[in-house]
């Protein structure tokens, strides 16, 4: 969530620059580029995620062209600094990678251009995903810079330096896996391009990304597909009806049951989905310390808990299904800072123990094959997008 403090910090920086430019009305006023871009980072602190043997963070910058003429963003830089202001590493997005991290407020699709065009009054979001190794050191803050160019008579170029964004010193919460067994694929898992990463939900006038680090877990078979047999039957899917386990000790604070299941991959949902039932049959568990585990799309009638129940890690909460906003059986799982799938900010998590499986899926459609490679014992990391993992019994 963007706080007033974060926005004011940016506005104050712009105001200071504006005063040094000129406040005189004696000559015609020409707006400098640095006064035309309004930019604010979100959330208030950047969390740190560990996955794939590296560290990552995810934050967004909301931008608006506050001028009367078009401008172009040509580069976005992230400089990581330690507590003493020493540069640890820097990363830049230019060219095609720049277009890939931007989403316009006018459209839900990403742009493919090698620069970002902002017309007069246009706005959008820059999705940033710095990543680094342990050897580089964890930053105390990120300093974000945006290079812009004007067009027409008010052309030129300039660099906007946003107020530094603090990096949270807190480590991700360590949990157990919500599933058991082999060949679970982390669809839409943490990356800078997954659907979860881009799922901005405006709520009560503020933007939220409760799914920032969420995963859609599906289970694949020997052919690398998630089903065998009838594509439109829930019972054909390997993940269907699997037990869902509590990831930690906690208290159940929200339960919804009784929502009918969808016919998979039929382009039709069993109900008209609203913000109240988008997660289908679901459970939200308070893990303490401002962390909530949210389990979505469960089977109707399979839930074994009610609001107020105290559960232990490993307890069965229900069974995996295909209810709510879901196209096939899967477990949507997220950790967030409030008991809501939508009106919350997503938080990273780390699974205590699991096995990462190298793999490739090859062969023509309908005759594909899953070939497995080396396995790696992993501790205290979160699976990244499209990872294939196994979760042993406790």
Question: Is the confidence at residue 380, as pLDDT, over 90?
Answer: yes
The Cα–Cα gap between 163 and 17 comes to 13
**Structure tokens that stand for 159 in this block:** 């660099």
- Look up the CATH number of the domain holding residue 323: 2.70.70.10
381 and 274 both lie in a single domain: yes
Q: What is the tens place of the pLDDT at every residue in 284-332?
A: 999 999 999 999 999 999 999 999 999 999 999 999 999 999 999 999 9
The Cα–Cα gap between 331 and 15 comes to 47
159 and 179 both lie in a single domain: no
Number of domain units in the chain: 2
Reported confidence tier of residue 68, pLDDT bands at 50, 70, 90: confident
133 and 227 both lie in a single domain: no
What is the reported pLDDT for 28? 43
371 and 298 both lie in a single domain: yes
Which of 118, 144, 166 is where one domain is finished?
Answer: 166
What is the reported pLDDT for 6? 35
347 and 207 both lie in a single domain: yes
Q: What is the tens place of the pLDDT at every residue in 218-250?
A: 999 999 999 999 999 999 999 999 999 999 999
- Look up the CATH number of the domain holding residue 134: 2.60.40
Reported confidence tier of residue 91, pLDDT bands at 50, 70, 90: very high
8 and 146 both lie in a single domain: yes
Beta strands in 82-234 (DSSP E): 87-93, 102-104, 116-118, 123-128, 131-132, 141-150, 157-161, 165-166, 173-175, 181-187, 201-203, 206-208, 215-219
Q: What is the tens place of the pLDDT at every residue in 103-137?
A: 998 875 555 567 788 888 999 999 999 999 999 99
For residue 103, what are the domain limits? Answer: 4-166
The Cα–Cα gap between 234 and 351 comes to 28
Q: Which of 283, 392, 394, 270 is nearest to 331 (CA)?
A: 283
Kind plus residue range of the DSSP H or E element containing 259: none
**Structure tokens that stand for 22 in this block:** 């000129």
| Average pLDDT rounded to a whole number, residues 172-183 | 98
127 and 209 both lie in a single domain: no
178 and 142 both lie in a single domain: no
Looking at residue 33, the DSSP 8-state letter turns out to be G
Kind plus residue range of the DSSP H or E element containing 301: none
Reported confidence tier of residue 168, pLDDT bands at 50, 70, 90: very high
Which of 166, 191, 226 is where one domain is finished?
Answer: 166
123 and 184 both lie in a single domain: no
160 and 188 both lie in a single domain: no
160 and 178 both lie in a single domain: no
Q: What are the distances in angstroms from CA 66 to CA 87, 118, 149, 324?
A: 31, 10, 14, 39
Which of 166, 194, 219 is where one domain is finished?
Answer: 166
179 and 156 both lie in a single domain: no
């Amino acid at each position: 969530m963007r706080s007033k403090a974060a926005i004011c910090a940016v506005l104050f920086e712009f105001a200071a620059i504006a005063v040094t430019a000129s406040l005189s009305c004696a000559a015609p006023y020409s707006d400098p580029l640095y006064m035309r871009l309004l930019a604010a980072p979100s959330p208030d602190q950047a969390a740190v995620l560990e996955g794939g043997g590296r560290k990552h963070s995810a934050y967004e910058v909301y931008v608006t062209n506050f001028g009367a003429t078009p401008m172009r963003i040509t580069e976005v830089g992230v400089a990581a600094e330690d507590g003493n202001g020493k540069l640890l590493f820097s990363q830049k997005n230019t060219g095609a990678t720049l277009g890939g991290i931007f989403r316009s407020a006018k459209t839900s699709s990403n742009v493919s251009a090698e620069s970002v065009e902002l017309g007069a009054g246009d706005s959008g979001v820059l999705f940033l995903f710095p990543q680094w190794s342990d050897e580089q050191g964890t930053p105390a803050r990120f300093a974000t810079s945006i290079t812009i160019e004007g067009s027409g008579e008010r052309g030129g170029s300039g660099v906007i330096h946003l107020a530094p964004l603090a990096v949270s010193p807190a480590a991700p919460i360590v949990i157990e896996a919500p599933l058991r067994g082999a060949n679970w694929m982390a669809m839409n898992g943490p990356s800078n391009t997954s659907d979860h990463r881009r799922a901005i939900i405006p709520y009560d006038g503020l933007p939220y990304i409760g799914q920032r680090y969420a995963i859609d877990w599906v289970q694949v078979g020997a052919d690398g597909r998630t089903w065998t047999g009838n594509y439109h039957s829930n019972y054909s899917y390997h993940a269907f009806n699997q037990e869902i386990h509590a990831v930690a000790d906690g208290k159940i604070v929200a339960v919804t049951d009784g929502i009918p299941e969808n016919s998979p991959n039929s382009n039709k949902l069993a109900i008209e989905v609203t913000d109240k039932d988008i997660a289908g049959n679901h459970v939200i568990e308070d893990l303490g310390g401002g962390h909530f585990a949210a389990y979505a799309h469960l089977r109707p009638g399979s839930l074994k808990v009610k609001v107020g129940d105290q559960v232990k890690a490993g307890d069965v909460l229900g069974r995996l299904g295909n209810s709510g906003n879901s196209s096939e059986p899967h477990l949507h799982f997220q950790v967030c800072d409030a008991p809501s799938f939508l009106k919350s900010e997503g938080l990273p998590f780390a699974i205590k123990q699991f096995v990462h499986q190298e793999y490739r899926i090859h062969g023509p459609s309908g005759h594909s094959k899953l070939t497995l490679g080396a396995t790696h014992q992993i501790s205290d990391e979160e699976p990244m997008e499209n990872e294939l993992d196994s979760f042993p019994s406790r």
